[in-house]
Structure 1
Amino acid sequence: MQKYILKDIKNILEENKAVLLYFSANDCSVCKVLKPKIEHSLQNNFPLMKSIFIEDNMEISTNFTIFSNPMIVVFFEGKEFKRYGRNISLSLFEEDIERLYKMVF
């Protein structure tokens, strides 16, 4: 997993139309189960969306007001669109993103 600093994340948000930030913790079992499902969904349904997986990074988590894991934050054109926490419905996640994704791409 690539390590990011806050400046990297801010640059990615500026340079990409759609970005998903996935916050997790090393000791989070839900994070480990959900991550491959999210990766699969992104590859199959939203291939143009940039995804960043952030694990145990207090500076970045604090900057985005993340206090629990897993947490998914989706951005379109640099603006936060939606947050998904702990109990995430994958079908609802895909439905929410699909509408705006089709508008942007």
Structure 2
Amino acid sequence: MMLNVSDQTELDALLASHSAVLVLYGGQACGVCQALKPQLQRLLSEQFPRMQACYVDCQTTGGALCAQQRIMALPVVQIWFEGSRFTEFFQVFSLADISAALTRPYQLLFEG
């Protein structure tokens, strides 16, 4: 399940309460973002079930958070482990790129 996050306080709370978090920054008018969202949810549920996912709509309620995070173009995916940003993907990337980036640290955190 992908939670909706709209401000820095909510994001901070999520990062503090979960060891692994994926953040998708998108927008309602971003077709790629809307297509990517269910694909990411499926990837996480099938391969990385202990990772928490959240969505920030930069074109509506999450505009200030997107500015704080310096999100300049959509979509952006950030991956966080233990409260620290591990990596970030922006504009041109694939689900395979995200899966490859997640596999090793996820295994170390949850299966090691």
Residue 80 of structure 1: which of 82, 85, 97 is its match?
85
What is the 5 A alignment of 1:55-74? 55-56=57-58, 57-74=62-79
Q: Could you tell me how far 1:3 is from its partner in structure 2?
A: 4.9
Large movers: runs of 4+ above 2 Å: 1-5
CA separation in 2, counterparts of 1:17 and 1:44?
18
- Does the residue aligned with 2:70 lie in a helix, a strand or coil? coil
RMSD: 1.3
Matched residue, 1:8: 10
Matched residue, 1:28: 30
CA separation in 2, counterparts of 1:61 and 1:2?
13
- Aligned length in residues: 105
Indicate if the aligned counterparts of 1:30 and 1:86 stay in contact, CA closer than 8 A. Answer: no
Amino acid at match of 2:23: L
Go from structure 1 to structure 2 and tell me whether the alpha carbon gap of 1:41 and 1:11 turns closer, same or farther (over 3 Å shift). same
Residue 17 of structure 1: which of 16, 19, 28 is its match?
19
CA separation in 2, counterparts of 1:2 and 1:97?
21
Gaps of 5+ in 1: none
Matched residue, 1:49: 51
Q: Name the TM-score, length of structure 1 as normaliser.
A: 0.92
CA separation in 2, counterparts of 1:65 and 1:3?
16
Amino acid at match of 1:83: E
Indicate if the aligned counterparts of 1:17 and 1:76 stay in contact, CA closer than 8 A. Answer: yes
